[in-house]
Chains A and B, each alone.
Chain A
Amino acid sequence: MAIDLQYTPKQHALRAEARAWLEANVPREPLPSYDTAEGFEAHRHWETKLHSDRWSMVTWPQEYGGRGLDLIEWLIFEEEYYRVDAPGRVNQNGVFLFGPILMEYGTPEQKSRFLPRLASGADIWAQVWSEPQAGSDLAALRTTAIRDGDDYVINGHKIWSTRAVYADWGFGLFRTDGASERHRGLSYVVVPLRTPGVTVRGIPQLDGESGFAEIFFENARVPVANRIGDEGRGWSIAMATAGFERGLMLRSPARFQRTAQRLIELYRREELTRREQQTAPIDPGVAATVTQCWMDAEAYALSTYMTASRLIAGGSIGAEASLNKIFWSELDLSMHRAALAILGARAELRGLAGVEGVALAKAADEATRWMDGFLFSLAGPIYAGANEIQRNIIADRVLGMPKG
Chain B
Amino acid sequence: MDFTFDEEQRLAAQSLRELLNDHCQGSDLRRAANARDLPSFEAACATRRARLAELGLAGALVPAEQGGLGLGVVDFVLLAEEAGRAALPEPLVDVEGVAHPLLATLGELGESTLQETLVGSALVLSAAPGTTVLANAAFAQYLLLSRRDDELALYRASDISLTHRESVDPLRRLSEVALHDAKPIARVTGATTSSAWQAARARSTVLNAAQLLGLGARMLEIAVAYSLERKQFGKAIGSNQAVKHALADVMVKLEFARPVVYAAAATLAPVRVAHAAVAAAEAADRAARAAIQVHGAMGYSWEVDLQFYAKRAWALAGLNGGRSAQFAAVHQSLLRGELEAQWA
- Which residues of A does B touch, CB under 8 Å? 1-8, 11, 15, 72, 76, 79-80, 83, 254, 257-258, 260-261, 264, 267-268, 271, 287-288, 290-291, 294-303, 305-306, 308-310, 312-313, 320, 323, 326-327, 388, 390-392, 394-396, 398-404
Q: How far is the CB of B339 from chain A (nearest CB, A)?
A: 5
Q: How far is the CB of A63 from chain B (nearest CB, A)?
A: 26
A301 to B275, alpha carbons, bound, how many Å? 14
Q: Are B4 and A1 in contact (CB under 8 A)?
A: yes
Segment of B53-61, B103-111, B206-214, B238-246 engaged in the interface with chain A: B238-246
A392 to B343, alpha carbons, bound, how many Å? 35
Q: Are A302 and B248 in contact (CB under 8 A)?
A: no
Q: Are B3 and A298 in contact (CB under 8 A)?
A: no
Q: Are A399 and B248 in contact (CB under 8 A)?
A: yes
- Which residues of B does A touch, CB under 8 Å? 1-6, 9, 74-75, 220, 224, 227-228, 235-236, 238-241, 243-245, 247-249, 251-252, 255-260, 262-263, 265-267, 275, 278-279, 327, 330-331, 334-335, 337, 339-341, 343-344
Cβ 8 A contact of A323, one of B256, B260, B339: B256
A20 to B130, alpha carbons, bound, how many Å? 51
Q: How far is the CB of B80 from chain A (nearest CB, A)?
A: 15
Q: Are A402 and B239 in contact (CB under 8 A)?
A: yes
- Measured between beta carbons, the chain B residues less than 8 angstroms from A390 are 248
Q: Are A298 and B244 in contact (CB under 8 A)?
A: no
Cβ 8 A contact of A291, one of B2, B3, B248, B331: B331
Q: List 29 A-B contacts (CB under 8 A).
A: A3-B74, A3-B262, A3-B265, A4-B2, A8-B1, A254-B341, A258-B341, A261-B341, A291-B327, A294-B330, A294-B334, A295-B260, A295-B279, A302-B259, A303-B259, A306-B4, A309-B4, A323-B252, A388-B241, A392-B244, A394-B251, A395-B238, A395-B247, A399-B247, A401-B224, A401-B227, A401-B244, A404-B240, A404-B244
The residue of chain B having its C-beta at the shortest distance from the C-beta of A388 within the complex is B245
- B220, B275, B343: most-surrounded residue (chain A CB, <10 A): B343
The residue of chain A having its C-beta at the shortest distance from the C-beta of B266 within the complex is A3
Given contacts A264-B334, A401-B244, are A303 and B239 in contact (CB under 8 A)? no
Q: Are A300 and B256 in contact (CB under 8 A)?
A: yes
A309 to B3, alpha carbons, bound, how many Å? 5
- Measured between beta carbons, the chain A residues less than 8 angstroms from B260 are 295, 298-299, 302
The residue of chain B having its C-beta at the shortest distance from the C-beta of A271 within the complex is B335
Q: How far is the CB of B184 from chain A (nearest CB, A)?
A: 37
Kindly list 17 other residue pairs between chains A and B, CB separation below 8 angstroms, not including A303-B258, A402-B228. A3-B74, A3-B262, A5-B3, A15-B343, A258-B341, A261-B340, A299-B256, A305-B3, A306-B258, A306-B262, A309-B2, A313-B2, A326-B252, A391-B249, A392-B244, A398-B251, A400-B224
Main SS class of interface, B: helix
A1 to B339, alpha carbons, bound, how many Å? 29
Main SS class of interface, A: helix
Q: Are B259 and A306 in contact (CB under 8 A)?
A: yes
Q: Are A392 and B331 in contact (CB under 8 A)?
A: no
Q: Are B1 and A11 in contact (CB under 8 A)?
A: yes
Q: Are B2 and A1 in contact (CB under 8 A)?
A: yes
- Measured between beta carbons, the chain B residues less than 8 angstroms from A327 are 252, 256
- A287, A295, A403: most-surrounded residue (chain B CB, <10 A): A295
The residue of chain B having its C-beta at the shortest distance from the C-beta of A287 within the complex is B331
The residue of chain B having its C-beta at the shortest distance from the C-beta of A6 within the complex is B1
Q: How far is the CB of A334 from chain B (nearest CB, A)?
A: 13
A1 to B5, alpha carbons, bound, how many Å? 7
- Measured between beta carbons, the chain A residues less than 8 angstroms from B235 are 402
Q: Are B248 and A295 in contact (CB under 8 A)?
A: no
Q: Are A3 and B341 in contact (CB under 8 A)?
A: no
Q: How far is the CB of A236 from chain B (nearest CB, A)?
A: 25
